[in-house]
Amino acid sequence: MNLQDPIDILKGVGQQRLKLLHQIGIYTIEDLLGYFPRTYEDWSRITSIEDLLIGGTYTVRAKIISVPQTVKKGRLTITTARVQDATGTISVVWYNQPYLKNYFLRETIYIFTGKIKSYNGGLQLLSPDYEKLDVSDENGNLGILPIYVLPKNLSQKIFRQWMKECVEQVGSQVQEFIPDWIRKKYQLADFSYAIFHIHFPKDREHFLTARKRLVFEEFFLLQIGLFQIKKGIEKQKKGITFQPIEEMECFVQQLPFSLTQAQQRVVNEIQQDMCSSHAMNRLVQGDVGSGKTIVAAIALLHAVKNGYQGSMMAPTEVLAFQHYETLQQLLEPLGIKTALLTGSLTKKQKDQIGEQISNHEVDVVVGTHALIQESVSFHKLGLVITDEQHRFGVRQRISLSQKGESPDVLVMTATPIPRTLALILYGDLDISIIDELPPGRQKIKTYAVTTSYRKRLYQFIEKEIEKGRQVYMICPMVEESETLELESVLEYTENLQKKIFPHYRIAYLHGKMKPKEKTDIMELFSNGYIQILVSTTVVEVGVNVPNATLMVIENAERFGLSQLHQLRGRVGRGTDQSYCILISDAKNKIALERMKVMTDTTDGFKISEMDLKLRGPGDFFGTKQHGLPELKIANLYEDMQILKYAQEATQDLYKKDPHLEQENHYFLRQKVNQLFKNNDEVLVL
């Protein structure tokens, strides 16, 4: 057996199971070894039957003393068996697993792990996991068992058997690729040790040693990849050296507001980049409402007055239209021609705008993904801006920048990311942070209430509308399908219009609407005609209506903290006091913690840290969207120290061998190439 062998080489992998394995990305033996457990069950702690307590979960070593029986009760098929150890007997029961009747053998010892409940005056072991005891295991101890995230019809038992076979046969074949000097410095286990003990740890100490190595490895490879992307960008032709312009100071002074110190600091950083000889590649991170758009406008003005064109790409047509309107108002009085290019335009309109772009009749183009189509050709592109960068991938960002000769690149995001974590996702960018809100903005008052407050809430909504204000109402999020989500929005809106607020103008927004419909609705809401806007999370990003002062979020427990914060950021954009009402009847601990965080703080950075903490391991940022390898085992919140070590090791590595050309770095170079190639990313080495 070899690492690159197809997975169906394993006994028991037929067509059905092969499809299930493909569903979770397992095609080869190597893929299987890299599929790590979600959690573990410690079967090493055996409890005697006489010590079992109702409500507890226990592991029992016991012998089957009666032939298992199966009976049907309505739709249920119930399988029961009687088991015994040296201290007593207990009944074991499973539901809708009739095949177990033929699995268990009398007088044979098994290990069972399950929950204890009371039944007919005695105890019952409910739907336990089970393993036949290996006769060679004299202690009767199965140790720590891995539990994997598997498709519904793939059992833990058979998957574990495959894993054990592969770990034992080919685990030693895995090639070590982290240089010895790095492993020694950070006390990292070798690769084959880590692979074996992450799947079948002997004890907690072996598990932690294995996990530390694999977490370090994930961060280390990711940092190398990003470092190479950054170096690749720096190796490109020299960037444009923009000249300072006289109009800049006058433009800033004539704005109807003063820039905050944070905005001015970021503007200065951008100006320095643009006037240097290297191509700017900068991330501007600012919380909702911090004023990133005006910073972008100043950068665009600088590019255009130097004789170049600028482009700004947004993830949705609603947001693109809003940016277009804002930039048009700011820049057109200065003789700067702006245009909007989105997918919903007719072919004739697209062709017409495309011609204006290629002839340099247009100075600034705002658009969606339509901007990166092959047919779009710029005459002299000097500045590329992408907004809400977490919605785009690295490749899309690069595609847009390739429309010009080494244009400057500015990336904006309102998703607050702790700076160290930002270095993971945006390791190829310099980072600027707008950490201050414009003066006059009042803190949004946030309240978490149950559905019993609904009557009072409706009275509060009326009060705000009678003051001339407007209201967002976010529908419950429906995960099952877009169709159900659509029905939910329509039903919710109809109920509000007919039964609650028949005297107000109400409209709705949802993801299935055509882009022009969305834009028309947002325009009616922006100009104050629509008083209540019912929406799904389509308004989460970038919508700017200063007169809207109330955000109501139904079933708030279904949303992540960062998403709740983004939604809340749609209000509080004017000088009037704004409010966010979170409606939830959820009683579970995480939901209650989320509500508390939202009512306690409006600081996006604190909220994102807490979101990270509450979510725990997983794909917090949706790294697949970035074209970056997904983190399979590292926890961005808990493993911060290991991340710092990995960043430090990457810097040391590139001081020693900037191109990874040394013989002892050959396997590392191969690993990084493979990783980024498999993730549809630029081949970095």
Q: What is the 3-state secondary structure (H, E, C) of 156-223?
A: HHHHHHHHHHHHHHHHHHCCCCCCHHHHHHCCCCCHHHHHHHHHCCCCHHHHHHHHHHHHHHHHHHHH
pLDDT of residue 437: 77
Length of the chain: 685
Percent of the chain with pLDDT over 90: 38
Q: Is 23 helix (H, G, I), strand (E, B) or coil?
A: helix
pLDDT of 628: 52
* Averaged pLDDT, 138-145: 59
Residue with token string 């329509």: 490
pLDDT above 60 (res 393): no
Which of the listed ranges 39-53, 144-158, 545-559 does the model predict with the highest average pLDDT?
545-559
DSSP code of residue 360 = T
- Lowest mean pLDDT: which of 78-92, 279-293, 368-382, 383-397? 383-397
Are 230 and 238 in contact by the 8 Å Cβ rule? The answer is no
- Report H helices in 509-631: 515-526, 561-568, 589-600, 604-615
Q: Which amino acid is at 327?
A: L
Of 223, 422, 387, nearest in space to 300 by CA: 387
The partner residues of 473 in beta bridges, in order of sequence, read: 534, 552
Q: Do the beta carbons of residue 79 and residue 70 sit within 8 Å?
A: yes
Those residues whose C-beta lies under 8 Å from the C-beta of residue 346, and which sit 6 or more positions away, are none
**Contact assessment for residue 195 and residue 173, using Cβ atoms and an 8 Å cutoff:** no
Distance CA 231, CA 684 (A): 9
How far apart (Å, rounded) are the C-alpha atoms in residues 225 and 639?
A: 19
pLDDT digits (tens, 9 = 90+) for 500-510: 999 999 999 88
Write the pLDDT tens digit of every residue in 244-266: 998 888 898 888 888 999 999 99
Report pLDDT for 536. 82
DSSP annotation of 83: E
Write the CB contacts of 190 (distance below 8 Å, at least 6 apart in sequence).
176, 183, 213
**DSSP of 413-446, one letter per residue?**
E-S---HHHHHHHTTTSEEEEE--PPTTPPPPEE
For residue 685, what is the DSSP state?
Answer: -
Tell me the C-alpha distance between 327 and 331, whole Å.
6
- The side-by-side arrangement of strands in the sheet containing 470-474 is 445-449, 579-583, 548-553, 470-474, 532-535, 506-509
pLDDT of residue 624: 41
pLDDT at 136: 46
Helix H, strand E, coil C: the string for 614-662 is HHCCCCCCCHHHHCCCCCCCCCCCCCHHHHHHHHHHHHHHHHHCCCCCC
Q: Which residues is 385 bridged to in the sheet?
A: 312, 410
Q: Is the pLDDT of residue 147 over 60?
A: yes
Tell me which of 438 and 259 has the higher pLDDT: 259
Helix (H) or strand (E) holding 57: strand 57-64
Task: Return the H-helix or E-strand segment holding 673.
Answer: helix 666-678
d(CA 110, CA 121): 25
Mean pLDDT, the chain, integer: 84
pLDDT greater at residue 209 or residue 43? 209
Q: How confident is the model at residue 490 (pLDDT cuts 50, 70, 90)?
A: confident
- Per residue in 322-347, pLDDT (tens digit) is 889 889 999 999 999 999 998 888 88
Please report the pLDDT score of residue 684 as a whole number. 33
Which region among 176-180, 511-515, 582-586 has the lowest average model confidence (pLDDT)?
A: 511-515
